[in-house]
């Protein structure tokens, strides 16, 4: 009988831990923002890292646009690939836990879009198709910036 009580207690503890982890994985470290957006609360170094990644994405967009203007599909592919999934590979799990699930989903979809854009450019897809793909991706960037703000933890 004692083993069953111990097993039940262990199971309940595991279940509570899983529920708490899932709650934080979905919600992240958020608070109401100052301008009707949701603030993601990060340590200063984490905030700097996320903003740096956003600047990398913006530089990739600039490289893609330049490549499209110059009709250089190799430059388009290289610029897009620089912001693909490989760019998101080393993210600290503690940082990822602080990001709300919709933020993570949007961010990862942008990285996947960049890989798809690089592949399409490599395959020689027409510039109009590449521009549409880029426009669809930028819609996600605008949605993210309209929804979230990054706040430094105090």
Q: What is the CATH number of the domain that holds 45?
A: 1.20.120
Could you give the count of Cα atoms lying within 13 Å of 109 in the half-sphere of its Cβ?
A: 16
> Which of 26-35, 53-62, 84-93, 104-113 has the lowest average pLDDT?
26-35
CB burial of residue 44 (10 Å; 0-12, 13-18, 19+): exposed
Q: Token pair for residue 18?
A: 């899983």
Within a domain: 12: no
Within a domain: 14: no
Total domains in the fold of the chain: 1
Within a domain: 23: no
Least Cα distance to 152 among 17, 40, 65 occurs for: 40
pTM as predicted: 0.81
Q: Are 151 and 31 in contact (CB under 8 A)?
A: yes
Domain interval for residue 101: 29-152
Within a domain: 52: yes
User: What does the pLDDT look like over 62-108, one tens digit per residue?
Assistant: 999 999 999 999 999 999 999 999 988 777 888 888 999 999 999 99
Within a domain: 13: no
Within a domain: 101: yes
pLDDT of residue 147: 95
Within a domain: 6: no
Within a domain: 4: no
């Amino acid at each position: 009988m004692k083993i069953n009580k111990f097993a039940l207690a262990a199971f309940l503890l595991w279940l509570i831990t899983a529920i708490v982890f899932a709650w934080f994985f979905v919600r992240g470290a958020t608070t109401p923002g100052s301008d009707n957006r949701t603030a993601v609360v990060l340590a200063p170094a984490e905030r700097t890292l996320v903003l740096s990644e956003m600047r990398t994405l913006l530089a990739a967009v600039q490289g893609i646009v330049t490549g499209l203007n110059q009709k250089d599909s190799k430059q388009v592919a290289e610029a897009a690939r620089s912001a693909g999934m490989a760019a998101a590979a080393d993210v600290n799990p503690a940082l990822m836990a602080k990001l709300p699930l919709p933020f993570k989903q949007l961010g990862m979809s942008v990285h996947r879009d960049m890989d798809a854009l690089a592949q399409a450019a490599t395959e020689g897809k027409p510039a109009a198709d590449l521009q549409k793909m880029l426009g669809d991706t930028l819609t996600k960037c605008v949605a993210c910036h309209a929804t979230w703000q990054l706040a430094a933890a105090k």
